[in-house]
């Protein structure tokens, strides 16, 4: 075994985290829980980006710029998503995704 | 087996267990608390990958802001999200099988790749990533456009969230 952690460990970990997040997104009923699944997937993507940066492109900082954009997109997505969920809840008193199937409240 | 391997294995096991609890526990509030543990584990991995800046940002943005927002949303919608009703769709086993297949597929596909077992390269000692990153984000030669686009995205999200959040009040006027 090599003295340092090989890249594969991080990639397998990120794949497992991504699959768990996708499972949560597909299987959960509550819209907030679906958003939590999306957060797990975005975290897996960030782990992958940082791992590839560290192992393959270390001094160049393009990977960091990508991760910063992913962070921004995740923050924006959560803020707007939760505002939408709370707005739907206020109008129709539902939080289950399959009941929110009409666009006009 | 160096200490780094052991730390990685412990952190990865705790993080994956917490992620599993996020997608399976019934009370949503417990899910949100497990999510905080998962995000903390990811922050530790960022620190292990010499990206300490993103470890700090992970704690500030994800744990400090996003997890708190999620907890707020759960508390505001609590009456409907009864902890006793089923929290998963009826056909939940189908995505489970799909995800196991996807995970095995990703791992097998990656193991064919020649760079899969790349050992850790040594970072040049004099490189100060944080200073270089700050300069790159404001330099027209590198990432100033993505940086500005990200700030516009945040501004749009801010306006959208305020618009949606004050909907009831505007209707009464």
ipTM rounded to 2 decimals: 0.89
Using pLDDT thresholds of 50, 70 and 90, give the confidence band for residue B141: confident
In this structure, is residue B111 part of a structural domain? no
pLDDT > 70? residue B52:
yes
The separation between CA A12 and the C-alpha centre of its own chain, rounded to angstroms, equals 17
Question: Taking a C-beta distance cutoff of 8 angstroms, is the pair A33, B28 a contact?
Answer: yes
**B76 and B148 assigned to the same domain:** no
Ordered structural domains, chain A, with CATH = 9-99 (1.10.287.3510)
pLDDT tens figures, B16-46: 999 999 998 888 889 999 999 999 999 999 9
Write down the mean pLDDT value for chain B: 86
Interface of A with B in 6-65 (CB under 8 A): 6-13, 15-24, 26-30, 32-33, 35-37, 39-40, 43, 46-47, 50-51, 53-56, 58-59, 61, 64-65
Q: What confidence score (pLDDT) does residue B80 get?
A: 57
Residue B99 lies in a domain: no
- Last residue of a domain, which of B49, B83, B117? B83
Task: Report if residue B90 sits inside a domain.
Answer: no
Q: Give a yes or no: residue B15 inside a domain.
A: yes
* Closest alpha carbon to B19 in B28, B6, B10, B32: B32
Looking at per-residue pLDDT, the higher value among B106 and B129 belongs to B106
Q: What predicted TM-score, i.e. pTM, was given to this entire model? A: 0.89
Residue B137 has pLDDT above 60, yes or no: yes
- Domain end, chosen from B56, B83, B110, is at B83
Task: For the beta carbon of residue A30, count every other beta carbon within 10 angstroms.
Answer: 22
β-partners of residue A96 are A30
Q: What is the rounded distance in angstroms from the CA atom of residue B173 to the CA atom of residue B164?
A: 16
Q: What is the residue range of B145's domain?
A: 131-173
- Number of domains within chain B: 2
Q: B49-80: string of b/e by CB count within 10 Å (b at 16+)?
A: bbbebbbebbeebbbeebbebbbebbeebeee
């Amino acid at each position: 075994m090599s003295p340092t952690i090989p890249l594969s460990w991080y990639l397998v970990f990120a794949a497992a985290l991504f699959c768990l997040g996708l499972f949560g997104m597909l299987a959960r009923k509550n819209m907030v829980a679906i958003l939590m699944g999306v957060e797990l997937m975005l975290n897996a993507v960030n782990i992958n980006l940082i791992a590839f940066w560290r192992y393959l492109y270390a001094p160049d900082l393009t990977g960091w710029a990508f991760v910063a954009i992913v962070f921004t997109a995740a923050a924006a997505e959560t803020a707007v998503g939760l505002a939408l969920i709370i707005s739907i809840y206020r109008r129709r008193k539902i939080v289950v995704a399959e009941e929110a199937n009409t666009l006009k409240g | 087996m160096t200490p780094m391997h052991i730390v990685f294995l412990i952190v990865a096991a705790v993080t994956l267990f917490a992620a599993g609890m996020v997608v399976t526990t019934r009370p949503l509030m417990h899910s949100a608390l497990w999510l905080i543990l998962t995000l903390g584990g990811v922050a530790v991995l960022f620190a292990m990958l010499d990206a300490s800046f993103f470890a700090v940002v992970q704690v500030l943005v994800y744990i400090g802001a996003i997890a708190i927002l999620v907890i707020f949303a759960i508390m505001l919608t609590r009456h409907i999200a009864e902890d006793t009703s089923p929290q998963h769709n009826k056909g939940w086993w189908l995505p489970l099988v799909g995800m196991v297949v996807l995970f095995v597929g990703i791992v097998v596909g990656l193991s064919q790749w020649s760079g899969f077992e790349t050992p850790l390269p040594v970072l040049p000692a004099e490189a100060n990533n944080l200073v270089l990153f700050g300069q790159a984000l404001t330099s027209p030669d590198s990432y100033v456009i993505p940086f500005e686009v990200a700030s516009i995205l945040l501004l749009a999200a801010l306006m959208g969230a305020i618009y949606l959040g004050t909907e009831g009040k505007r209707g009464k006027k």
